[in-house]
Amino acid sequence: MRIIETIAEMQQAADNWRAHGERIGFVPTMGFLHKGHLDLMRTARRLSSQVVISIFVNPTQFAPHEDFDSYPRDMQRDLDFAREVGVDAVFTPNLHEMYPEGFQTYVTVTEVSKNLCGRSRPVFFRGVATVVSKLFHAVKPHLSVFGEKDFQQLVTIRRMVRDMNMDVEIIGHPIVREEDGLAMSSRNAYLRPEERPVALRLGRALALAQDLVSSGERQVDAILGKVSEFIAGDGAAKIDYAQICDPNTLEDIAHIGGPALLALAVWVGKTRLIDNRILQPSG
């Protein structure tokens, strides 16, 4: 497995693979890999002849008060995981390589990034679109795999790729969960043991919402009221948002008339967790 630290070397490797007819699959990550990432990597492995992952904690998607400095890192473990899955190259540029002095170019996806996480994290999606553009230009992948846990991120990347004519196929991967149902996230490492049962409420609230819809409930307000009460009624968690949206535009809807995204962001102690599910009126 190659470890590549510079953009120039990454591009050279990609050009070389492409010249030999290889198909490059790419999984961008911020490291501290968990089983969710491993599933994305396995999907890339299955669909490509050369698999690249990137490990880069991207400062432009963190606001000043957020957890960039304390974001968990464990490069050695990450490399072991990557080897285990059969990754061909790990691209690990340093900060200066990705954001040299004078850096000033940003990619903005204006509409789909406004709602949901865009409200409480206004710089987040600009940072994500910018770094993913940069990574795509470095890795030159044929396809790239993103988890559906960051549903708004996936919608933003799909829109960017289409709008910018990027010749990259975007593959969405279903949310991977721990055995107890908690959606996998590097930030789960922040949870204290006594917070875990509270964290599990997110996944259960999604199931509760689907049950309501399956029983015929179509009023978004009614569903969100019950979801919020279930998660935070006792004050053990604090809801950042609980919204039901059109899964393509991410605009709020009032009535459920087709597949609808229920997206949650919840503070459990000092940890912000997200989770989501497509509610199916016919399911």
- If one asks whether residue 119 binds a second copy (CB under 8 A), the answer comes out as no
Work out the angle at residue 175's Cα, subtended by the Cα atoms of residues 112 and 144, and round it to the nearest 5 degrees: 65
Which among 108-116, 220-228, 231-239, 273-281 is the span making contact with a second copy, rule CB under 8 A? 108-116
Work out the angle at residue 154's Cα, subtended by the Cα atoms of residues 151 and 157, and round it to the nearest 5 degrees: 150
Give the DSSP letter of residue 27.
E
- If one asks whether residue 204 binds a second copy (CB under 8 A), the answer comes out as no
Return the residue of 16, 108, 120, 214 that touches a second copy, per CB under 8 A: 108
Evaluate whether 171 touches 47 at the Cβ level (below 8 Å): yes
Q: For a second copy, what does the binding mask look like between residues 237 and 256, x meaning CB under 8 A?
A: ------------x-------
Return the residue of 65, 70, 96, 100 that touches a second copy, per CB under 8 A: 100
N-term to C-term CA, the chain:
43
Rounded to whole angstroms, the Cα distance separating 144 from 156 reads 14
Kind plus residue range of the DSSP H or E element containing 272: strand 271-279
- If one asks whether residue 101 binds a second copy (CB under 8 A), the answer comes out as no
Return the residue of 24, 112, 183, 237 that touches a second copy, per CB under 8 A: 112
Nearer to a second copy, 63 or 222 (CB): 63
Minimum separation from the CB atom of position 81 to a second copy (A):
25
Which among 35-43, 135-143, 191-199, 210-218 is the span making contact with a second copy, rule CB under 8 A? 135-143
Evaluate whether 1 touches 84 at the Cβ level (below 8 Å): no
Question: How many residues does this entry show for the chain?
Answer: 283
Evaluate whether 238 touches 113 at the Cβ level (below 8 Å): no
Give the DSSP letter of residue 219.
B
Q: Strand 260-268 relative to strand 271-279: parallel, antiparallel, unpaired?
A: antiparallel
- If one asks whether residue 229 binds a second copy (CB under 8 A), the answer comes out as no
Return the residue of 46, 73, 95, 106 that touches a second copy, per CB under 8 A: 106
Helices 124-139 and 7-19, axial angle in degrees (round to 10): 50
Return the residue of 87, 160, 223, 265 that touches a second copy, per CB under 8 A: 160
- If one asks whether residue 110 binds a second copy (CB under 8 A), the answer comes out as yes
Nearer to a second copy, 56 or 190 (CB): 56
Catalytic residue among 37, 137, 142, 255: 37
- If one asks whether residue 272 binds a second copy (CB under 8 A), the answer comes out as no
Rounded to whole angstroms, the Cα distance separating 140 from 122 reads 28
Rounded to whole angstroms, the Cα distance separating 185 from 176 reads 9
Which among 61-69, 99-107, 143-151, 233-241 is the span making contact with a second copy, rule CB under 8 A? 99-107
Return the residue of 115, 133, 153, 243 that touches a second copy, per CB under 8 A: 133
Q: Is 37 a catalytic residue?
A: yes
Rounded to whole angstroms, the Cα distance separating 269 from 283 reads 34
- If one asks whether residue 140 binds a second copy (CB under 8 A), the answer comes out as yes
Q: Kindly list the catalytic residues.
A: 37
Query: Interface with a second copy by CB under 8 A: which residues?
Result: 7, 11, 15, 18-19, 21, 100, 102-112, 129, 133-134, 137-138, 140, 159-160, 162-167, 249
